[in-house]
Structure 1
């Protein structure tokens, strides 16, 4: 396949994923049964975002234009994450359009949706058979892209460090508020915080607020997601973290489904949002700019409210251009 044919194939895939195909619906159900965090609403949201932002010809063509087509295909091993539905899709997409052979090790948390996509692509386009393979072991690859925790990233460096590689570790996102946000902006921020139960690296896990900030409008906006407590896995996290706060006599606020705690760490537990006061926005901006734990920053002058979970094709994880890496192999 040349690049134009691949773009056409991806557009076809987008049309399929946006459809009510019975086989696709059954696969979504299976994915939810295998991983309780993959609720129908959030699985559909992940797929809708892929269709809207990744699988459109008018987006794919300008995105790919700067990158040369591969003349000598290599084998690229991908270690996929599994924290939200199809989180590894963008890595696979880059490997596919780059022309390299892709060998992917899926997370046990998300090993149903992508294999179905791969099988449909090979069903429609038999020439793609073998370009992407799902494997348990990633030996003898020419390059690696691996996503995991801070701990697993050390192992990735040990095993893959002598090969060309992109190795990602834990990251999270934060928001900077001014106190001038509209109700609509706060509702969009609640999406950034609580979509996918806050499990994604682009989910906001901490907010910075000006001293004297009034939390009531934000808490009211967060109440849009109070139905998250209907999932027992999320409710267990909420109850556990609430118990810790009560036992330690720690001040907190609650929206009913999210606990707000003053804390310096940018990482927070599921069902908890950290907050911290700031005095000088310029000083804060400088601190955030050098914080290597951040995937993105949401707020006025940063990533727009509500856009954290809508990455574009060129919003590369950790700011590392995956296509440039693959094109340079």
Structure 2
């Protein structure tokens, strides 16, 4: 397949997804294969929550909107212009996908197919509906993809490389089983925000999006704040009030009640606004409904700290001139060229 074929197919997929990017789905007569796929995918978005209780319709729509904005001709051209696609490697790449948030493994699937390789996919038990359906649509639009996509529920056989995403614990198993082939093995990472105390209320409200989207389950969700000494959290909590509806979701509320009770019984000093607790802690990974914070002495000190612990961090949200910083509210809207863990997946795949 030539690159233009692949790009056109994914642009069509983006147009299909765009119909589901708002709460009121909008049928578009110009979308390819729509009569065959629209109604069925509308049902998939509803069924996703029955399959995984954290995949509420709102969160699924957020993910679909992000992908509809990413899969445009302009974005694909900008992303792919940095690479040479003269030769298709046509290697079989085993993909072990995560399932903590909707479609979290889709970038790996996209990268494998665009690079001219074959995708051998093991979906997470928590996300088995959306990606397989969208790949059926992709094949309907571009039938040549059919021989390049395979799903497996068991282990991998006859593969040339692996991209696996999991926890620090599962990463050890991945390294043992897949260490002899080219691989990308991802471990736990978390995202942080470095505040100065000079943020506007609008910026802090955008930070709420970074914290609460997907209920905080993604590696791009901010789970840790670095703040200067004597930081006043009043403005921060005021900005968070716009997200108070999150406590109405039973699963989130149960986590909030449980984690708050654990903190209180352990005599931890916490700040609480009725749906979010924050406490001082050196760790990066905070529980659902909680955010950790830590004080820093100077901008140089915190920048050095983040460099030294870069292998634990996915995103840094701040107004400070820190390398690879992300603007407030943008952690869950990565560009196609924003690779997980900073590893160039496309470069890896094209070199197979």
TM-score, scaled to structure 1? 0.97
Verify: 1:67 aligned to 2:111, yes or no. no
| Pick aligned residue for 1:294 from 313, 318, 341 | 313
Partner of 1:49: helix, strand, or coil? helix
Structure 1 position 224, deviation (Å):
1.6
* Deviation at residue 192 of structure 1 after TM alignment: 0.5
Matched residue, 2:51: 34
- Corresponding position of 1:47: 64
Offset at residue 123 of structure 1 (A): 1.9
8 A contact 1:220–1:255 mirrored in 2: no
Deviations 1:135-158 (A, max 9, x none): 122222000000000000000000
User: Which one of 195, 204, 215 corresponds to residue 177 of structure 1?
Assistant: 195
Q: CA deviation at 1:255?
A: 2.4
The superposition leaves residues 5-42 of structure 1 with CA deviations (integer Å, 9 ceiling, x where unpaired) of 11111111011111133222111111111001011111
Matched, 1:107 2:120: no
Structure 2 partner of 1:255: 273
Corresponding residue for residue 96 of structure 2 = 79
Aligned to 1:229: 247
The 2-side partners of 1:50 and 1:142 are apart by 28
Q: 1:308 aligns with which of 317, 331, 336?
A: 331
Q: Contact (CA 8 Å) 2:220, 2:314: kept in 1 or not?
A: yes
* Separation in 2, partners of 1:186, 1:62: 31
- 8 Å contact from structure 1 (residues 153, 169) kept in 2: yes
Give me the CA root mean square deviation.
1.0
Q: Is the 8 A contact 1:297 1:303 kept in 2?
A: yes
Deviations 1:35-85 (A, max 9, x none): 0101111110011001112x0111101211222223341100000000000
| Structure 2 residues not aligned, in runs of 5+ | 20-24, 26-37
> Partner of 1:129: helix, strand, or coil?
helix
